[in-house]
Amino acid sequence: MRSDAVTKGVKSAPHRALFNALGLTKEEMERPLIGIVSSQNDIVPGHMNLDKIVEAVKQGVAMAGGTPIVFPAIAVCDGIAMGHQGMKYSLVTRDLIADSTEAMAMAHAFDGLVMVPNCDKNVPGLLMAAARVNIPSIFVSGGPMLAGKVNGCKTSLSSMFEAVGEFNAGKITEEQLEEYENKSCPTCGSCSGMFTANSMNCLTEVLGMALGGNGTIPAVYSERIKLAKHTGMKIMELVKKDIKPRDIMTEAAFRNALTMDMALGCSTNSMLHLPAIAHEVNFDLNVELANEISSKTPNLCHLAPAGDIFIEDLNEAGGIYAVMKEIDKLGLLNTDLITCTGETIAENIKDAVNKNTEVIRPVENPYSTTGGIAVLKGNLAPDSCVVKRSAVAPEMLQHKGPAKVFDCEEDAISAIYDGKIVAGDVVVIRYEGPKGGPGMREMLNPTSAIVGMGLGSSVALITDGRFSGATRGAAIGHVSPEAAVGGNIALVQDGDIISIDMNANTINFLISDEELAARKANWKPRQPKITTGYLARYAALVTSGNRGAVLDIPR
């Protein structure tokens, strides 16, 4: 056992003295030491209940013969960070979480880890850490929020952001806006649609790093507590069998994750996080693989923001295993892979049942025959960019219009609310990429403003930043190379005609090669927006969006 280094023999007497100071008994020191990484805090609604999840995990570990020891991980609420300088600190926490968890796990010689995340960057950050330290590990999240209800209709955080746009457009009153404010987010948990947190928690099941139900059992259900206890018990089996994250998260497992990403219609942020996790397993996951997989993977789910279905509905319909079983009818999954259950995917999903064919469409009747996400390329994004195609109005899948160019998110939002954006326009927001932001801010405010102002089916938005999973509409992000490194998005000018074809996976601005070369010759780098602190260090090391915004550190 790894913990023998701090619990066994004369040489470990000083270590045992410190364990005694913690109140551990001799019997506890003789058992496997299981680190429980708790993301609990009192600022993130998805994390406020994690103390209860952690306590249940501790009980499960102890019941199965282990010694549970809790240590923390930070967490940022993307919704609270949205629309101001705070959003620069969202994506960057993914690496802080991975690094600090690595440090704690290695410094204290844990035999296994139970990761307890919930929201957007904690799940991928802890998956990165699990792959990196490669000791037996398993995940259990805090669970999704229940949907709200306004005027008899289910709502979520995306409804709230869009209500702000509706208010500014004079479509709803201040009293109606306040009703959304009070009812959109009614419980603890990760926001209730197929946004980034829930996307990643669902994909953790697909990757094989969490038990069935991890992505969909609501936070307030007692079943979530039982899942946490079973997770605590299961880590002891993984330790005994020495099943490690890299045994589970193979290249084939990531292909499965991309396939299910397409079927579920996950957040575009998955196209940042899956490559970053794969990077820790030491292989490069090219995001363009998404188009190959999408071409043969039907989209079976239209959860919010793509539709009026929520994670609680997916849970009642059979959860992720039921969707996997549908997709497996087409032979698109590798089901021979080992998972954290100790069994294969085939064994995990054999008893799954699709209980609601409106929530989980059968493969014979999909929402579309292609997947939920598309990767586009062209002279505007020579390396690539990403769009959640399943959340785009059909009439916007092909669009051509004049560019309205902004060098930061705030200027774009002002223009939208001032009525300067009209039907047919293509809003371009640049210098918001991983380096240029720095931190690659989410653009939920401008996309929600566009939808709320009634322009969702006539205006596209393109950025080298990224989008919240709550975004819907023709929102194209992760443009690579980004503006800050001289990518072609930096060369777009007001009035340039931009042509988007999400069916052909192309994105171009219609100027001659000679004009493009002339603009490139005249481009000059901009001074960094931030020159001190963690963001400055991050900007110096981070790569582009198409590489998952991983840090450029030699392996």
pLDDT in tens, the chain (555 residues): 999 999 999 999 999 999 999 999 999 999 999 999 999 999 999 999 999 999 999 999 999 999 999 999 999 999 999 989 999 999 999 999 999 999 999 999 999 999 999 999 999 999 999 999 999 999 999 999 999 999 999 999 989 988 998 998 899 999 999 999 999 999 999 999 999 999 999 999 999 999 999 999 999 999 999 999 999 999 999 999 999 999 999 999 999 999 999 999 999 999 999 999 999 999 999 999 999 999 999 999 999 999 999 999 999 999 999 999 999 999 999 999 999 999 999 999 999 999 999 999 999 999 999 999 999 999 999 999 999 999 999 999 999 999 999 999 999 999 999 999 999 999 999 999 999 999 999 998 899 899 988 999 999 999 999 998 888 899 999 999 999 999 999 999 999 999 999 999 999 999 999 999 999 999 999 999 999 999 999 999 999 999 999 998 765
Query: 54: which 2 tokens?
Result: 């952690």
| pLDDT (0 to 100) of residue 554 | 67
| pLDDT (0 to 100) of residue 83 | 87
CA–CA dist 311, 216 (Å, integer): 6
Query: 348: which 2 tokens?
Result: 């995990």
| Nearest residue to 108 (alpha-carbon basis) of 75, 56, 141, 67 | 67
Q: Burial, 261: exposed, middle or buried (Cβ in 10 Å; 0-12, 13-18, 19+)?
A: buried
Are 136 and 242 in contact, with CB atoms under 8 Å apart?
A: yes
| Beta-carbon count within 10 A of 275 CB | 23
468 included as an active-site residue: yes
Instruction: Count how many Cα atoms sit within 13 Å of the Cα of residue 143 in the half-sphere of its side chain.
Output: 29
Tell me which amino acid residue 358 is: E
| Nearest residue to 268 (alpha-carbon basis) of 346, 370, 375 | 375
Strands (E), 392-455: 398-406, 426-429
DSSP state of 407: S
CA–CA dist 227, 217 (Å, integer): 9
- Paired with 479 in beta bridges are none
- The helix (H) or strand (E) run that includes residue 417 is helix 409-417
* Pair type for strands 426-429 and 398-406: parallel
Are 147 and 310 in contact, with CB atoms under 8 Å apart?
A: yes
Are 324 and 260 in contact, with CB atoms under 8 Å apart?
A: yes
For 158, 191, 306, the CA distances from 184, given in Å and listed in that order, are 9, 10, 17
Q: Which of 448, 468, 480, 544 is catalytic?
A: 468
CA–CA dist 266, 243 (Å, integer): 28
| Nearest residue to 333 (alpha-carbon basis) of 320, 342, 351 | 320
Are 83 and 53 in contact, with CB atoms under 8 Å apart?
A: no
| pLDDT (0 to 100) of residue 553 | 79
- The helix (H) or strand (E) run that includes residue 116 is strand 112-116
Q: Burial, 152: exposed, middle or buried (Cβ in 10 Å; 0-12, 13-18, 19+)?
A: exposed
CA–CA dist 88, 79 (Å, integer): 12
